[in-house]
Chains A and B, each alone.
Chain A
Amino acid sequence: MIRFDQVSKRYEGGHEALSQLSFQVAPGEMAFVTGHSGAGKSTLLKLLGLIERPSHGSISLDGQSLAKIGRGGIPKLRRRIGMVFQDHRLLMDRTVFANVELPLVIGGVAPAERGRRVRAALEKVGLLAYERQLPATLSTGEQQRVGIARAIVAKPTLLIADEPTGNLDPQLAVEIMGLFAEFQQVGTTVLVASHDLPLIKRMRKRVVVLDHGRLVADIAAEEVL
């Protein structure tokens, strides 16, 4: 379970990205975080991955307060989270296979098991045939799918995605969101930051709406029109 309790984030310089934010996401739930540019979507995800720390309030993940996690505990927390970025953040000098394998190497998974799981992840995102290629030879959509394969290969309890379809055409965006929905169906908690309202409506999942860092609406899946 993700729990935000009166969370505020003020950056150096005084800009308040989040203000008194409180909400919960149940285990295995998929939710969208939406809002205009600068609403605080990315900051929210950064706080979950401990890329940033809140200025006030508390965040907990599966009952563990993130405030209690010191510098040394951050890598361990991040291994429980799969992160998907708008700009993929792939290592361009390594093959698709090597990129997807990284979380497993970091997690200490045995080499034979790594190969099996990387191929399964690549098959899931439809890129098994590209495992030996460098990311630069792939299209933007394919690169995004490699990023997703990397995020899910270590079977994270939480998958967070920051504008994962920002650079994709509508059809591909729907496919990518479909993948996220599949991960949710097998118990992964999925939190997606997106400003693509038509796509969010189409997915019919819970929507958390932010405006200038404040929670202005929390719409249940069945209420999404």
Chain B
Amino acid sequence: MSAQQEAPIVAEPRVERSRPRPVASWRDHHAWSAGASLRRLMSRPVGTLLTVAVMALALALPLTFYLLLGNVQKMGQALGQNQAVSVFMQPGQTGPAVEMMATKLRERADVASVAIKSPQQGMDELARMQGFSGALNTLDSNPLPYALEVLPKPEASADDVARLVTDLRALQGVDLVQDSGTWRQRLDALLGVGNRVVLILAALLALAVLLVVGNTVRVDIASRSEEIGVLMLIGASGAFVRRPYLYAGIWYGLFSGLLAAGMALLIEMALAEPVTRLGHVYEGKLQIGMLPLWLLGAVPLAAAVLGWLGARLVSAWQLRKAA
């Protein structure tokens, strides 16, 4: 032993005990507890990994549903942009009258464009369709009316489009209005249900995370009752004994949250290619919806809070039993 270190244990008088340093001591306790619990988790990597993986799956599920729903919503919006409202004029409507109606419609705030399709253009389109050319040759005259392709503004909601359709039906000279956008209303309603399901699922799976952490901590405390007894005999307070278990809950939550965010990113990457291919079909209007960065950051933090909460709920009564 060096001269500087000599006999500090038995040679120092009692009055030279450590001076009180409450803040530093509190900080040291937390650092020690955080480190000790992390080392304990690392000392049994398989068990820790399995627990973290189960929790990550529980967290990744609602994230994945959220991602899928977001993409279906975007898909609906993108496809909706391509859905023109077809207006079939009554037979006998003349070209100038239809042109006048188109001009009026173009002035509407909810209309992006109006294309006129003459009876001849309609006939040509039909002729290009396989199997129709023969049948059309048998007709004496062109039975097709003038038609308008009214394209709503991209930002128009389903309600806006429904209003537009009603207005179009009321126009004089209009025979039939074909609104293929009804499916969007149905899709929106289904997405509303889906969003609610995701919320319920997220709440249930958050509860599952809470229970997984709680049970893991319960087993951990039960297996360490002897250690807890020793700590209490040498002067550890209940808070000191409990702290490593709370940190264990935080670590479990944090790691599973990070893994879940990683899984969600992988699913995003897996979806990117087919969605991009689908987007090309719709002239690039369809792009993959990504999970927002704030959500990816919030998941590990929220999971850490859940882990802490699960550990806190269980450790309070379990430690009383163990001590």
Give the B-binding residues of A (Cβ under 8 A): 49, 51, 72, 75-79, 81, 83, 89-91, 93, 102-103, 105-111, 113, 116-117, 119-121, 123-124, 150, 152-155, 157, 182-183, 185-188
**Partner-binding segment picked from B21-29, B53-61, B117-125, B149-157:** B21-29
Q: Are B21 and A110 in contact (CB-based, < 8 A)?
A: yes
Q: Is the interface of B mostly helix, strand, loop or mixed?
A: helix
Bound: A186/B18 CA distance, A: 18
Query: Is B97 part of the contact surface with A, judged by Cβ < 8 Å?
Result: no
In the assembled complex, the CB of B145 is this many whole angstroms from the nearest CB of chain A, namely: 87
Is B134 an interface position by the 8 A CB rule? Answer: no
Interface SS of A by simple majority:
helix
Cβ of A124 and Cβ of B233 under 8 Å apart?
no
User: Is the CB–CB distance between B32 and A186 below 8 Å?
Assistant: no
Shortest A164–chain B CB gap in Å is: 15
Q: Do B24 and A107 touch (CB < 8 A)? A: no
B233 adjacent to A182 (CB under 8 Å)? no
- Chain B residues with CB under 8 Å of chain A are 1, 5, 7-14, 17-18, 20-22, 24-26, 28-29, 32, 43, 226-227, 229-238, 240
Residues of chain A within 8 A of B240, CB atoms compared: 75, 106
Least distance between B230 CB and chain A CB atoms (Å): 5
- B234-A106 in contact (CB<8A): yes
State A79–B11 Cα separation when bound (angstroms): 19
A111 vs B30: C-alpha distance when bound (angstroms): 12
Q: Are B13 and A120 in contact (CB under 8 A)?
A: no
* A109-B18, A152-B9, A186-B10 known; A102-B28 Cβ under 8 A: no
Q: In this complex, what residue of A is CB-closest to B40?
A: A93
Nearest CB on A from B31, distance (A): 8
Residues in A with CB closer than 8 Å to B12 are 155
> Is the beta-carbon distance between A107 and B18 smaller than 8 angstroms?
yes
Once bound together, how far apart are the Cα atoms of A121 and B7, in whole Å? Answer: 8
CA of A155 to CA of B237, assembled, Å: 19
* Chain A proximity of B153: nearest CB distance (Å): 66
User: How close is A193's CB to chain B, nearest CB, in angstroms?
Assistant: 15
Assess the A78–B234 pair: CB atoms within 8 A: yes
A114 to chain B, nearest CB (A): 9
Give bound CA distance, A108 to B238, whole Å. 15
- Nearest CB in chain B: distance from A82 CB, A: 8
Known contacts: A51-B233, A78-B235, A120-B5. The answer to whether A111 contacts B28 by CB under 8 A is yes
Chain B residues closer than 8 Å to A83, beta-carbon distance? 233-234
Query: Which of B9, B230, B238 gathers most chain A CB within 10 Å?
Result: B9
Partner of A106, one of B10, B226, B231: B231
Known: A83-B233, A108-B25. 17 other contacts (CB 8 A): A51-B233, A78-B235, A91-B227, A93-B43, A102-B234, A102-B236, A105-B29, A106-B231, A108-B24, A108-B28, A110-B21, A119-B5, A120-B8, A120-B9, A123-B1, A155-B12, A157-B14
Partner of B28, one of A105, A119, A154: A105
Q: Are A75 and B29 in contact (CB under 8 A)?
A: no
Lowest 9 CB-CB distances: which A-B pairs, in order? A108-B25, A79-B235, A78-B235, A75-B237, A186-B10, A120-B8, A89-B230, A120-B9, A106-B236
Q: Is the CB of A108 within 8 A of B235?
A: no
CA–CA, A108 to B18, complex, Å? 9
Bound complex: CA A91 to CA B43 (Å): 15
Cβ of B14: which chain A residues have Cβ within 8 Å of it?
A: 155, 157, 187
The answer to whether A75 and B235 touch (CB under 8 A), given A91-B227, A155-B17, A186-B10, is yes
- Docked Cα-Cα span, A116 to B6, in Å, equals 10
CB neighbours (8 Å) of A153 from chain B are 9
State the CA gap A116–B8 with chains docked (Å). 9
Residues in B with CB closer than 8 Å to A51 are: 233
Shortest distance from the beta carbon of A104 to any chain B beta carbon, whole Å = 8
Task: Provide the bound-state CA to CA distance between A69 and B40, in Å.
Answer: 34
A119–B12 CA distance with the chains assembled, in angstroms: 15
